[in-house]
Amino acid sequence: MTYTPHGKHLIAGEWVGSDDTFTSQPVTGDAVTYASGGAAEVDRAVTAAENAFTTYGWTTREDRAAFLNTIADEIDARGDDITRLGCAETGLPEARLQGERGRTTGQLRMFADHIRKGDYLDRRHDAALPDRAPLPRPDLKMVQRPIGPVAVFGASNFPLAFSTAGGDTAAALAAGCPVVVKGHPAHPATGEIVADAIHAAIQKCGMPAGTFSLIQGTSHNLGGALVKHPLMQAVGFTGSLGAGRALYDLCAARPTPIPFYGELGSINPVFVMPAALSARGADLGTAWAGSLTMGVGQFCTNPGVVVAQAGDDLESFAQAATDALSGAGEAVMLSEGIADAYRKGVAQVAAANGVQELVAATCDRRNASPAVYRVSAEDWLANDNLAEEVFGPLGIIVSASGPDQMLDIARHLHGQLTATLQMDDADTEAAKPFVPVLERKAGRLLVNGFPTGVEVADAMVHSGPYPASTNFGATSVGTLAIRRFTRPVCYQNMPDALLPVDL
């Protein structure tokens, strides 16, 4: 049976409306009116989450693993409807939505397998030494425990993998934390149907109704109410630097500050070393163009800046990229707001001192085409605006005098999600000084690839120093993501009957 959105919030197991509403802006199909939540809905959902935590936080890892797998099953059961609704709302192609659904269910199942193993608990035991002199040692046991209710903000660019049942939600649920999601208004129908899948899994697995809630809305006050609620214990966020920093500041200003795990922005620089540029500059230019325009440039790992040595080889790179992008045409962006921000970003770069336009962008309402510019290293270093993320298919080629100036650019970078070295064997010695610099600048270092896309795997790190993220000691992708929503607790001389089951 085809799923028809009803436009309500899911709060503590019930679909409920609100007095305030907003209307969706799909690329195709009819707009739908959705309830728009506020402080009252937040209080009801977070209170229910706190009540659920007294049970859900003490479930076994096996029960939570079964719950995560059931969520994945329920999402797959709604797969055709999810693809239909997601394509209509975002303009993304069917293959992209189907692939993203597989990634979403895959990370749910990966977290289920991971918590079954128990490695994330970091269990430690110092046995009692009653005869130790001069003082005896008590029995000490340590384990990672869930922290309580977690707020998750759905992302605009990933309606599935970073939204309602995405990585933050999956990690928090795996840890034993109830979740309240603020759905992204760019894809409310997709958020609603995924919430319906989670709701079905809660009922099938007998979990408390407050284990998960979805609140829809467009108001900044909704997000503020969610992070300021006194029962909320942590926040997961993927979005713009401006919005993320505002929420981060609210979390820090609370009477009891809470951690804000925000992924905010990155230009993901690519450093092309001289031998690689000489041997395959044109091929690299074409490949960069493909990565830059993937998903209309709306990936947080989009490689927005290329740094290379000036000369004929860089001209070959730039010409190949220009040729590949000149005929790219327009594509639909995820929302009118994102398209408007792209227009403004293009205008700011184009007006910067020393910038030369290679490919001119067009952006008519939600349709956008790529833009590419070239600038000298001196002008790039003199203008911090050129180091800011433009969310969309905009690229900047920075020409440097040689590896030493390229390294100077690396030293001046802000925090990044990724940094890439394109190199051949002959570049090894020249590349060595870049590694200790770049590993302090980025959460993931690549060689001979492009960073667009993030593998869902144990070893993946998707974070970086600010402004790439607000906590570079964590990651929002990979099994280490679970640790964000736990904290270590030590139990001293505790009887076995009172210990958590994991001890």
Active site residues: 263, 300
**DSSP β-ladder status, 179-182 and 212-215:** parallel
**DSSP β-ladder status, 124-126 and 140-146:** antiparallel
- Which one-letter DSSP state was computed for residue 137? B
CA torsion 330-335-337-342 (nearest 10°) is: -30
Distance, in Å, from the CA atom of 472 to the CA atom of 455, rounded to the nearest integer, reads 18
| Alpha-carbon distance values, 425 to 97, 337, 429, 445 (Å) | 38, 44, 9, 17
Distance, in Å, from the CA atom of 302 to the CA atom of 42, rounded to the nearest integer, reads 34
Distance, in Å, from the CA atom of 83 to the CA atom of 397, rounded to the nearest integer, reads 36
E-assigned strand segments in 226-265: 234-238, 260-263
Distance, in Å, from the CA atom of 306 to the CA atom of 325, rounded to the nearest integer, reads 15
| Alpha-carbon distance values, 399 to 271, 303, 402, 408, 423 (Å) | 11, 16, 9, 12, 17
CA torsion 94-100-106-110 (nearest 10°) is: 180
Q: Taking each helix axis from N to C terminus, what angle separates 79-90 and 188-205, rounded to the nearest 10 degrees?
A: 160
Distance, in Å, from the CA atom of 65 to the CA atom of 87, rounded to the nearest integer, reads 30
* Residue 149 near residue 231, CB atoms below 8 Å: yes
β-sheet with 416-422: strand ranges across: 356-359, 371-376, 394-400, 305-309, 270-272, 416-422, 442-447
Any alpha helices (H) in 259-333, and if so which ranges?
274-293, 312-326
For residue 212, which phi and psi values (nearest 5 degrees)?
-145, 135
